[in-house]
C-alpha cells in the first residue's frame, strides 16, 4: 500500500500542463496560417495592379523559362503526392486517394508541358496549346473533386504499383485523346503576343480557350476554399495546399487576360504559379518534419511501453503469483520474495517516472537514482557528476538502470557501506560505480542476471561494460560510451 501511495505521489508531482491552460486565452493564428494568407493577399494585389496600373511591368522575354517553371511544378507536385499517398495507405480515406491522383496527374501534365516547350524554339502550336490547356483543366477539376470528396473510409487500400499504373494509363489515354482532337480545336497565333501594355488586358485567343482558362480559375478557387475549410491542427499540409490552389486560380485569371503561358514571355501569372508551387513545397517540407516528430514520439511511447512490460508488469505478475501461494501456505521465504518483488516493481515505476519527468538534466536523474537506491540499502552514496548534462533519452535510461543495479548489488550482496558514482564526459561518456564492499574474484565469478543486464544495456547504447573486483578490494562497474 505504501509503495502504491509513493508511486501515486510521484505521478501527481509530474507537470500538469492541461490544468495550466487558460480557457479564456486568445488563440493567435500559427505561422503556417499567416504566411499563406499573406502570400494570397500579395497575389491579389499584384493581380489587381496588373489590370489597373500602367506602372506594373513584369514582362520578361525568356523563351525557355516556361519549361523551367513547368519542370519545377511537376517535380514538386510529385513530392506531396508521395506524402499524401503514405497517409492514404495508413488511414484509407477516399479524399486522400483523390488528392494523390490530382497531385500525381498534375506532376505528369506539367512535366509534359515542359517537354513540349523545351524541345521547340518556336511558339506553341495548336496541338501543344490544347494539350497543356486540357491537361491543366483536368488537374484543376481533380483538385476541386479531391477537396469536395468526403472522408469516406475505403475497405481496401490500393497498392503502389496498381495506383501508379492506373495513373499512368489515365494520363496516356488523355494525351492520346487530346492529340487526336487538337487538330479540330480552334487556335490563334495571337496567343504568342507580348503583354507589353499591362494596363490593357489582351483577352486574345479563341473563345473556347478563354472559357477553359476561366473554368480552371473557378475549379482552383473551389479547391482552395474547400481545402481551407478542411484544415486541422494535425493536417498542416492542407493549409498550404489551399493557398497554393488559390494562387493557381489567380494565375489562371492573369492567363485569361494576358496569355503569357503560351508565349516566350514571363508575366504575372507565371510568377503567381511559381509562388504557388513554393508554398506547396514549404507545406511538403513541414509535413516531412511532422512525420519525423511523430515518429520520434511514437518511438518514445514504444520505449515506455516496453519498459513497463519488461519491468513493472513482470514484477506485478510475479507478485500476484506469490500472493496466491502465500494465501494457500504462507512462509517467511515467500513473504520475503513478495516484498523484494514489490520493491523491485516500485523501483521500476520510479525509474520510468524519473525518465519522463526529469528530461533535460541527466545529472539530476542519475544522482536521484543513485541516492534513492543507496537509501533503501542503508548505505551512503557519494556522487561526482557534471552540474548540467544533456544526453539522448536512450542513453540516460541505460545509465540510470546500470547505476541502480550496481548500487543495489553493492548494498545487498557486497556488504558495502559507501558507494561512489562518478561520470566524466571529457572524452565520450565514462560512468564509474565503485563500492567499498567485500569484493570477489571476478575471473571465476558466474555472471548473474544483474551483470548480464548491465552489460547488455551498455552495449545497446554503443558502449562497453567492464567489471573490476577482488576479494576485500571492493567492486567497480565502468561503462564507456564513445
Q: Which of 43, 45, 72 is nearest to 278 (CA)?
A: 72
**Nearest-5° angle of CA 403, CA 404, CA 408?**
115
Domain count, the chain: 2
Residue owning grid cell 525518465: 355
**Nearest-5° angle of CA 463, CA 465, CA 469?**
160
Q: Which is more confident, 209 or 18?
A: 209
Are the C-beta atoms of residues 435 and 374 closer than 8 Å to each other? Answer: no
Residue 328 within any structural domain of the chain? no
Residue 330 within any structural domain of the chain? no
Residue 458 within any structural domain of the chain? yes
Q: Which of 262, 278, 297 is the last residue of a domain?
A: 297
Q: Which is more confident, 37 or 285?
A: 285
* Report for 41-45, 110-114, 124-128, 307-311: range of highest mean pLDDT: 110-114
Domain that residue 76 falls in:
31-297
Q: Which of 42, 102, 441, 403 is nearest to 247 (CA)?
A: 42
What is the pLDDT, as a whole number, of residue 15? 41
CATH number for position 466: 3.30.565.10
What is the pLDDT, as a whole number, of residue 218? 94
Residue 221 within any structural domain of the chain? yes
Q: Give pLDDT tens digits for 365-379.
A: 888 888 878 877 788
DSSP assigned state of 306: H
C-alpha–C-alpha distance, residues 297 and 295, integer Å: 5
Q: Which of 248, 266, 297 is the last residue of a domain?
A: 297
Residue 334 within any structural domain of the chain? no
- Residue 178: is its pLDDT beyond 80? no
**Nearest-5° angle of CA 53, CA 54, CA 58?**
95
pLDDT classification of 311: cutoffs 50, 70, 90: low
- Residue 25: is its pLDDT beyond 50? no
* Report for 41-45, 104-108, 130-134: range of highest mean pLDDT: 104-108
pLDDT classification of 231: cutoffs 50, 70, 90: low
Q: Give pLDDT tens digits for 376-426.
A: 778 899 999 888 888 887 788 888 889 988 888 888 788 889 999 999 988
What is the pLDDT, as a whole number, of residue 350? 63
Same domain, 235 and 370: no
Q: Which of 240, 262, 297 is the last residue of a domain?
A: 297
Mean pLDDT, range 1-24, rounded to an integer: 41
Q: Which of 213, 273, 280 is nearest to 241 (CA)?
A: 280
Helix (H, G, I), strand (E, B) or coil at 436: coil
Residue 135 within any structural domain of the chain? yes
Same domain, 63 and 174: yes
Same domain, 371 and 275: no
Residue 240 within any structural domain of the chain? yes
What is the pLDDT, as a whole number, of residue 435? 92
What is the pLDDT, as a whole number, of residue 93? 80
Query: What percentage of the chain exceeds 90 in pLDDT?
Result: 8
Are the C-beta atoms of residues 133 and 212 closer than 8 Å to each other? Answer: yes
Same domain, 141 and 225: yes
Same domain, 414 and 286: no
What is the pLDDT, as a whole number, of residue 64? 76
Q: What are the residues whose beta carbons fall under 8 Å from the beta carbon of 333, sequence distance 6 or more?
A: none
What is the pLDDT, as a whole number, of residue 140? 92
Residue 208 within any structural domain of the chain? yes
Any idea which of 13-17, 227-231, 446-450, 459-463 has the lowest mean pLDDT? 13-17
pLDDT classification of 291: cutoffs 50, 70, 90: low
Amino acid at each position: 500500500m505504501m509503495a502504491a501511495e509513493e508511486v501515486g505521489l510521484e505521478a501527481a508531482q509530474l507537470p500538469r500542463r492541461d490544468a495550466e491552460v487558460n480557457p479564456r486565452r486568445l488563440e493567435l493564428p500559427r505561422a503556417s496560417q499567416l504566411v499563406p494568407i499573406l502570400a494570397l493577399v500579395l497575389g491579389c494585389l499584384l493581380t489587381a495592379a496588373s489590370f489597373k496600373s500602367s506602372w506594373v511591368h513584369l514582362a520578361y522575354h525568356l523563351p525557355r523559362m516556361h519549361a523551367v517553371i513547368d519542370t519545377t511544378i511537376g517535380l514538386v507536385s510529385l513530392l506531396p503526392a508521395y506524402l499524401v499517398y503514405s497517409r492514404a495507405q495508413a488511414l484509407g480515406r477516399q479524399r486522400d486517394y483523390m488528392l494523390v491522383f490530382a497531385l500525381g496527374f498534375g506532376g505528369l501534365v506539367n512535366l509534359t508541358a515542359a517537354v513540349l516547350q523545351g524541345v521547340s524554339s518556336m511558339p506553341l502550336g495548336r496541338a501543344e496549346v490544347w494539350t497543356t490547356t486540357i491537361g491543366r483543366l483536368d488537374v484543376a477539376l481533380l483538385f476541386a473533386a479531391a477537396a469536395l470528396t468526403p472522408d469516406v473510409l475505403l475497405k481496401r487500400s490500393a497498392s503502389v504499383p496498381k495506383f501508379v499504373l492506373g495513373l499512368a494509363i489515365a494520363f496516356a489515354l488523355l494525351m492520346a485523346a487530346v492529340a487526336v482532337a487538337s487538330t479540330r480545336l480552334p487556335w490563334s497565333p495571337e496567343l504568342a503576343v507580348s503583354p507589353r501594355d499591362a494596363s490593357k488586358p489582351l483577352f486574345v485567343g479563341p473563345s473556347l480557350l478563354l472559357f477553359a482558362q476561366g473554368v480552371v480559375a473557378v475549379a482552383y478557387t473551389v479547391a482552395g476554399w474547400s481545402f481551407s475549410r478542411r484544415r486541422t491542427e494535425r493536417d498542416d499540409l492542407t493549409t498550404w495546399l489551399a493557398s497554393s490552389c488559390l494562387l493557381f486560380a489567380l494565375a489562371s485569371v492573369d492567363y485569361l487576360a494576358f496569355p503569357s503561358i503560351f508565349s516566350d514571355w514571363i508575366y504575372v501569372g507565371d510568377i503567381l504559379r511559381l509562388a504557388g508551387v513554393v508554398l506547396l513545397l514549404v507545406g511538403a517540407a513541414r509535413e516531412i518534419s511532422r512525420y519525423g516528430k511523430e515518429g520520434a514520439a511514437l518511438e518514445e511511447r514504444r520505449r515506455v511501453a516496453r519498459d513497463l512490460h519488461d519491468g513493472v508488469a513482470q514484477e506485478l505478475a510475479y507478485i500476484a503469483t506469490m500472493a496466491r501461494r502465500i494465501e494457500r501456505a504462507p512462509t517467511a521465504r515467500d513473504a520475503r520474495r513478495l516484498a523484494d518483488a514489490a520493491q523491485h516493481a516500485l523501483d521500476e515505476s520510479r525509474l520510468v517516472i524519473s525518465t519522463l519527468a526529469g528530461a533535460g538534466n541527466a545529472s539530476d536523474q542519475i544522482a536521484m537514482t543513485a541516492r534513492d537506491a543507496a537509501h533503501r540499502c542503508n548505505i551512503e552514496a557519494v556522487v561526482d557528476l557534471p552540474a548540467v548534462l544533456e544526453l539522448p533519452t536512450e542513453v540516460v535510461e541505460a545509465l540510470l538502470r546500470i547505476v541502480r543495479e550496481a548500487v543495489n548489488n553493492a548494498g545487498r550482496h557486497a556488504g558495502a557501506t559507501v558507494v561512489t558514482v562518478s561520470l566524466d564526459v571529457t572524452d565520450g561518456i565514462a560512468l564509474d560505480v565503485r563500492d567499498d564492499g567485500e569484493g570477489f574474484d571476478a575471473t571465476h565469478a558466474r555472471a548473474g542476471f544483474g551483470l548480464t543486464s548491465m552489460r547488455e544495456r551498455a552495449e545497446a547504447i554503443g558502449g562497453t561494460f567492464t567489471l573490476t573486483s577482488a576479494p576485500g578490494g571492493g567492486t567497480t562497474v565502468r561503462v564507456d560510451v564513445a
